[in-house]
């Protein structure tokens, strides 16, 4: 995809602002979950433990994307995609609120690969 430098800059800052909002809103919920370590509490379901494993990768990817867009983007997109597939397989439903960080990851990838063209 060929993007102009101005378009890359807009996509990059949209991804950064969105990721900052997700980190500011999501981290308190993650740490407020009780015990955020996966597979420690036997009362959590397999799907709960899967998401507790995905969230740290997603948060690291959102922060890493500020400097390394492609790495951060993939570190957000792949775990969320795996989690969504697991939700569809195990519960036959889509986790809609995870589309927001997925969008930030995709924007990082667009900025990272759109920057390569120039």
Bin 84: left if φ > 0, else alpha if -120 < ψ < 50, else beta.
Answer: alpha
Instruction: Report residue 37's pLDDT band, with 50, 70 and 90 as the boundaries.
Output: confident
Nearest to 101 by CA among 68, 55, 64, 69: 55
End-to-end CA distance of the chain: 11
Per-residue pLDDT of 74-90, as tens digits, reads 999 999 999 999 888 88
What's the confidence (pLDDT) of residue 35?
Answer: 66
Residue ranges per domain, the chain?
5-116
Q: Which is more confidently placed, 13 or 46?
A: 13
């Amino acid at each position: 995809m060929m993007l102009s430098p101005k378009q890359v800059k807009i996509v990059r800052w949209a991804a950064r602002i969105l990721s900052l909002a997700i980190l500011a809103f999501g981290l308190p919920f993650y740490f407020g979950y009780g015990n955020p370590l996966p597979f420690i509490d036997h009362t959590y379901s397999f799907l709960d433990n899967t998401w507790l494993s995905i969230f740290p990768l997603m948060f690291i990817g959102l922060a890493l994307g500020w400097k390394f867009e492609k790495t951060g983007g993939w570190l957000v997109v792949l775990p969320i995609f795996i989690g969504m597939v697991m939700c569809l397989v195990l519960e036959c439903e889509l986790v809609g609120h995870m589309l927001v960080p997925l969008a930030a990851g995709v924007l990082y990838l667009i900025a990272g690969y759109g920057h390569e063209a120039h």
